Amino acid sequence: MTGTARSRHRSRGGSVPDVTIRKEGKTVSGLILGVDICDSYSQVSCFSAEKMAVEPVLLGADETSCLIPTVLCKLRGSDRWLIGSEGYRRALMNEGTMVDKLVKLLLRDGTATIEGVLYSAEDLLTLYLERVLELPRRQYQTDEIAEVVFSLQQLDADLLDRLTRVCDRLGLPRSRVQFLSHTECFAYFAVSQSKDTFTNLVSAFDLTDGGLNYYEMKVLRGRRPMVLEARREALEEAFDLDLLNTPLGEKMADTILSACADRLLQKKVITSVYLTGEGFTSADWAPEFVRKLCNKRKVFLGQHLFADGAAFIAYDSTLPQSNYPYICLCEGRLASTISLYAVRGGKNEPLTLASAGSNWYEAKASALFILDDVHTLEILVTSFATQRVETISLSLAELPARPNKTTRIEVIVSFSSENHVTVRAIDRGFGELFPASGLSFRKDFLIS
């Protein structure tokens, strides 16, 4: 089989942060943002190239918290929309209609009727994010956004498609927008700190009204490039944050988390542990849990871990060459390389269609081939971790009978998650002599 490939893949990998940076020979100006969107709260961090640090964006000048409630309130009889704590407060005063859990609403493609008008989930999230993005624009007195990374707990194909349309409506160029998992943003946050904080394993506990999640990251230094390996575990021990409203509830929650620490951290060499989420605005209610964590480990408490990690990645994306010498294997990234053999320049060699470490949502690729006595596509799946190669076969036996080297096929590789691969082969014929038949062949399979 001979051929050439064409692919679409985005590589990685206050001081007023309205910076100018060189990227691929062009000047990139504007805000560099990390935006964490969750059903309970959202957060925004802005990267300052002058300070080489991230800064949290607050809801207002009189606010002290970077937690922005993910709620949208339309004031009654007005075209004015409010977000965050003010929107929540005005809704409680019966001055407006509030919509919350905007991420779940978008995931199920829901709607809401407000004062007789039907709004789609995309409408509502557009209104919310429009006001969220206005916060850094107002704080740093610039409208331009150079790069924005949205951090999400889970990456669902339909959710990301709808979020992409929301960003289109907000006027954000697709080339300047990324959607990444909490897991990846945690990993890059961790390796953006001082080296002595990630010598060994790094862990994080994220406690919110939406659940209790445990994250773990390690750097595999024996590989070239080095590997960031990160994972997330949704813990069954999750509890409602209302439990923390009484001394007895606090003690019970402390006991639950202490048991989690015993199970998850024992016999592991962990350098640092991060505590985040609205459940950890303070850790005074969990003295036994904190005592267990502090056993020869650094422990940090903070509310903008995922937004900060997203902002670090956003900044790195503006550089001509990444500052991170890693391949990241985690939720949202491919763990295997997808390729097939093709003759190029007289040599039969594997042609990569999707690389391990790529963002699955962006790792779409297509290639045109001329068949040379080939009736079956042999798709190679190479695990980055083990280098084990698995062969997936896609039969082309139903193609029209033609002389050898007079059939062109287009091979298209796409993903609906980091594990679910779809390969399609489409008959493109061979000019006017051998018109395309319109036949298409498809193979769906899972990779680990």
pLDDT of residue 3: 45
CATH topology of domain 334-446: Substrate Binding Domain Of DNAk; Chain A, domain 1 (2.60.34)
Q: How far apart are CA 322 and CA 313, in angstroms?
A: 9
In contact, 19 and 29? CB cutoff 8 Å? yes
Q: How many CB atoms lie within 10 A of CB 153?
A: 21
Global pTM value: 0.88
Q: How many CB atoms lie within 10 A of CB 205?
A: 24
pLDDT of residue 347: 87
pLDDT of residue 17: 44
Q: 229-241: string of b/e by CB count within 10 Å (b at 16+)?
A: bbebeebeebbeb
Phi/psi at 59 (nearest 5 deg)? Answer: -70, -30
Low-confidence residues in the chain, pLDDT < 70: 1-28, 60-64
pLDDT of residue 61: 58
**Nearby residues of 345 by Cβ (< 8 Å), 6 or more positions away:** none
pLDDT of residue 1: 55
Q: How far apart are CA 227 and CA 219, in angstroms?
A: 6
Q: How far apart are CA 326 and CA 324, in angstroms?
A: 6
Phi/psi at 440 (nearest 5 deg)? Answer: -135, 140
Token digits of residue 244: 């923390």
Q: How many CB atoms lie within 10 A of CB 24?
A: 8
Q: How far apart are CA 222 and CA 224, in angstroms?
A: 7
pLDDT of residue 126: 97
Q: How far apart are CA 178 and CA 142, in angstroms?
A: 21
Q: At what angle do helices 182-191 and 305-317 cross, to 10 degrees?
A: 80
pLDDT in tens, 92-135: 999 999 999 999 999 999 999 999 999 999 999 999 999 999 99
Residue 290: its H or E element: helix 287-293
pLDDT of residue 28: 57
pLDDT of residue 344: 83
Residue 428: its H or E element: strand 420-429
Q: How far apart are CA 349 and CA 331, in angstroms?
A: 30
Token digits of residue 217: 């990251």
Q: How far apart are CA 55 and CA 33, in angstroms?
A: 10
pLDDT of residue 300: 96
The DSSP code for 376 is E
pLDDT of residue 129: 97
Residue 364 zone, left/alpha/beta (φ > 0; ψ -120 to 50; rest): beta
In contact, 338 and 418? CB cutoff 8 Å? no
